[in-house]
């Protein structure tokens, strides 16, 4: 993993905290701005980049866009103090897999890093409610039933995914294997014509299958 943040003390703190809670997460490098992050990603080829937004020379939005253009397999997790909708939408559009606030705890951060590495999407609960709430549209009960292509199990898994629960915890809660959960999510994505958890949740909110009460 690569840490991109313009504050050395913060980078050091993240590195030390991750070493305490999850020794399997290896920090291969640190960048002090977006330009350096871009260069280090090309040289070090990390699986995940932990990216801040406000950095000199090149901000996190532009760095995310350029990294995803050149190396789309790299997962980018935003870690910032900003919860403005304009930043969230810009970064998700640029290809970020997750968006967390710097109030997140060490264990939660480690889990989020694992989730984006496994291809999942992660949104901090306050960010999820603020952003996804914009997509809620009133629909009749009949319209919901008529337009819902998901099975009961798939709806159940989508609701848990909307709460930010990872595949491992979903599997434990529903007494399923992780592979079964992954297969269900793949079918959900195929049925809805989306490519990520976030898009699936947005789709569910737009069509009335999910409510804000289902979010964290």
pLDDT single digits (tens) 136-149? 555 444 444 446 68
142, 119: one domain: no
Q: Does any domain span residue 130?
A: no
92, 151: one domain: no
pLDDT at 9 over 80: yes
User: SS3 for 87?
Assistant: helix
Q: Does any domain span residue 131?
A: no
pLDDT of residue 138: 53
Rounded (10°) CA dihedral 208, 210, 211, 215: -160
51, 140: one domain: no
pLDDT of residue 64: 96
CA distances, 187 to each of 24, 151, 158, 195, 197 (Å)? 30, 10, 11, 11, 12
Give the end of a domain, one of 95, 124, 153: 124
Give the end of a domain, one of 124, 149, 169: 124
Instruction: State the pTM of this model.
Output: 0.73
Q: Does any domain span residue 192?
A: yes
CATH number of the domain to which 16 belongs: 3.40.50.2300
pLDDT tens for 17-62 read 999 999 899 999 999 999 999 999 999 999 999 999 999 999 999 9
117, 10: one domain: yes
- Phi first, then psi, for residue 96 (nearest 5°) are -65, 140
| Cα radius of gyration (the chain) | 18
H helices present in the chain, as ranges? 8-21, 34-44, 60-70, 85-94, 106-117, 125-132, 141-147, 152-162, 167-174, 178-192, 197-206
CATH number of the domain to which 164 belongs: 1.10.10.10
Domain count, the chain: 2
The arithmetic mean of pLDDT across residues 98-126, rounded, is 88
Q: Does any domain span residue 7?
A: yes
User: Residues 199, 117, 93, CA angle at the centre, nearest 5°?
Assistant: 35
Minimal CA–CA distance to 58: which of 44, 83, 81, 40? 40
Rounded Cα distance, 186 and 57, in Å? 39
The arithmetic mean of pLDDT across residues 185-200, rounded, is 85
120, 147: one domain: no
Give the end of a domain, one of 63, 97, 124: 124
6, 72: one domain: yes
90, 167: one domain: no
pLDDT of residue 130: 67
User: 82-96, 97-111, 112-126, 147-161: which has the highest mean pLDDT?
Assistant: 97-111
The arithmetic mean of pLDDT across residues 78-89, rounded, is 88
Average pLDDT, rounded, for the chain: 86
- Least confident piece of the model among 6-10, 51-55, 125-129, 171-175: 125-129
Query: Could you tell me the residue range of the domain that residue 77 belongs to?
Result: 2-124
Specify whether the backbone of 91 is left (phi greater than 0), alpha (psi in -120 to 50) or beta.
Answer: alpha
Q: Does any domain span residue 129?
A: no
150, 195: one domain: yes
DSSP of 149-177:
---HHHHHHHHHHHTT--HHHHHHHHT--
pLDDT tens for 196-210 read 777 787 788 777 777
42, 118: one domain: yes
């Amino acid at each position: 993993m690569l840490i991109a943040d313009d504050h050395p003390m913060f980078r050091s703190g993240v590195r030390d905290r991750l070493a305490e809670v999850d020794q399997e997460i290896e920090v291969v490098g640190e960048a002090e701005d977006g330009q350096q992050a871009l260069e280090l990603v090309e040289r070090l080829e990390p699986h995940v980049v932990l990216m801040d937004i406000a950095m000199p020379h090149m901000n996190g939005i532009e760095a995310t866009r350029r990294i995803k253009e050149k190396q789309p397999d790299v997962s980018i997790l935003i870690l910032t103090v900003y919860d403005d909708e304009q930043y969230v939408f810009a970064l998700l559009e640029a290809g970020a897999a997750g968006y967390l606030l710097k109030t997140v705890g060490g264990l939660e951060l480690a889990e989020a890093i694992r989730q984006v590495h496994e291809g999942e999407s992660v949104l901090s609960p306050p960010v999820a409610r603020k952003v996804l709430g914009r997509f809620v549209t009133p629909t009749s009960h009949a319209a919901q039933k008529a337009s819902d292509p998901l099975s009961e199990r798939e709806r159940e898994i989508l609701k848990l995914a909307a709460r930010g629960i990872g595949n491992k915890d979903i599997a434990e809660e529903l007494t399923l294997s992780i592979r079964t959960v992954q297969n269900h999510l793949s079918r959900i994505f195929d049925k809805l014509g989306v490519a990520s958890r976030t898009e699936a949740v947005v789709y569910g909110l737009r069509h009335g299958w999910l409510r804000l009460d289902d979010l964290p």
